[in-house]
A and B are shown apart, each in its own frame.
Chain A
Amino acid sequence: MSTIGSALAEAGALLISFDADFLEIVGLSLRVSLSAVAIACLIGFPLGAAVALFKFPGRGLVSLLLNTFMGLPPVVVGLIVFLILSRSGPLGVLGLLFTPTAMIIAQAILVTPIIAALTRQIIADLWREYGDHLNSLDASPLDRIGTLIYDARFSLATAVLAGFGRAIAEVGAVMIVGGNIDHATRVMTTAIALETSKGNLATALGLGIVLLVIALSVNAAVQLVNASGARKAAMA
């Protein structure tokens, strides 16, 4: 009980103090995860929509892989990215290991299947409704994808949130490819892991609470935007 009590105090103190180190960690967490989600959206939306709309050889396999990769273990992804980016790996010359860029790459790999798989489902459902109309209009493939993604935007926001939740909460991948280097690649989850192993349970828990608050705020913001936008466009 005393740990939780002091954790709450610690969390409050962290939030109020605007400690520079702490803000740096939070900032890097957000930067890495938001960038990863943005990249995952750029790949996942069109990929998911294409798998939903177009018949091509291996479509079933792609769909299966996307669904399977929704549950990729972060440490495994971290390890693979580590091997690729390490000095002797195929992309070692880029010198990206233990940089925020490497962390973004790893998280983007984790998040892309989630966004693509959810997009596939959402777009396939909407296609069932819109298909006749778009076929009747003789819409081009690009127009079809554009129409469906635009009209599914509120459902897709949920997919993006799922991806963001995955990215901001994972520790395994960023730990391996980032290395948890102070002032360089330390993010909230790796800091929590470190503080826990050092025995600073209150600090760790305090960081954890802050992490939860951030996740809560992001979700609340999206939900607010969604609710007003969905009313206007009558998603209901």
Chain B
Amino acid sequence: MSSLQTILPLEIRQLVFEADGTRLLHDINLSLASGRRTVILGPNGAGKSLLLRLCHGLLTPTSGEILWRGAGSRERAIRAQAMVFQRTVMLRRSALANILHTLKIRNVPRPERRERAQAALAMAGLAHLADRPARLMSGGEQQRLALARAWVTEPEVLFLDEPTASLDPAATRSVESLVEGFHAAGTKIVMATHDLGQARRLADEIVFLHKGRLLEFAPAEEFFETPRTDEARAFTAGELLW
């Protein structure tokens, strides 16, 4: 967003992840460039969250590589990313204090913090809830607060792990429009979802996962018009996939 040099592209090579001897991700190869909104699509258990977490560095691959081509250093790479989780992590503080906390951790000088936090709250439509304990806010408000918290870090890449999975349609729309706001500001969006409608609304390109394998990586239109695999055809048709 504000950086001189981008940490992208993200290159994933031969990525394998195993837990307790079970292989959960098989040989993923993928290269994500800036600009395009990437949606990781697939049924529950496909490995979408795992892939996001591995990319974001929350998990360590069993084998394979995750390379931020432009980053230079690990710290530069990790601090240029933000992630919003399906189950938001709300600190036991007010909405405003949640954002102030992030700014403090990112070493923003104290005098600047309040103004930036309030701007982020306003951006997320939460200005009137600044003093509300974050954990007493509704699910949709919490997710918007999580996005506001990500916003103040000015991420180059924003990972979203099913951010609207438990939200009602109105809250989903407001979260999606915030995601669009990140995109408009130049942030690379990488979002996992199992919601076909959402994928159609937001995606420029689709990464389709099934049972831990990367089955398709294609521009969104192409993926939805002419899926190449049976699994993708079945999934886009809304059929059960096992």
B26 interface residue (CB < 8 Å to A): no
A135 interface residue (CB < 8 Å to B): yes
Given A136-B56, A139-B105, A234:B133 Cβ within 8 A: yes
Contact with A along B63-89 (1 / 0, CB 8 A): 000000000000100110111010001
| A132 to B57 CA separation, bound complex (whole angstroms) | 10
Closest Cβ of chain A: how far from B73's Cβ, in Å? 12
In the complex, chain A residues whose CB is within 8 Å of the CB of B172: none
For A, the interface residue count at a CB cutoff of 8 angstroms equals 19
Closest Cβ of chain A: how far from B98's Cβ, in Å? 10
A61 interface residue (CB < 8 Å to B): no
Q: Is the CB of A137 within 8 A of B58?
A: no
Given A132-B58, A136-B56, A136-B83, A234:B89 Cβ within 8 A: no
Given A136-B58, A233-B93, A234-B135, A147:B78 Cβ within 8 A: no
| A132 to B92 CA separation, bound complex (whole angstroms) | 15
For B, the interface residue count at a CB cutoff of 8 angstroms equals 24
In the complex, chain A residues whose CB is within 8 Å of the CB of B78: 138
A133 interface residue (CB < 8 Å to B): yes
| A89 to B25 CA separation, bound complex (whole angstroms) | 62
Show the binding face of A for B, using Cβ within 8 Å: 129-130, 132-140, 143, 147, 151, 232-236
Show the binding face of B for A, using Cβ within 8 Å: 56-58, 75, 78-79, 81-83, 85, 89, 91-93, 101-102, 104-106, 133-136, 153
Q: What are 18 of the A-B contact pairs (CB < 8 Å)?
A: A133-B85, A133-B91, A134-B105, A136-B58, A136-B83, A137-B105, A137-B106, A138-B79, A139-B105, A140-B105, A143-B104, A147-B91, A147-B105, A151-B92, A232-B133, A233-B92, A234-B92, A234-B134
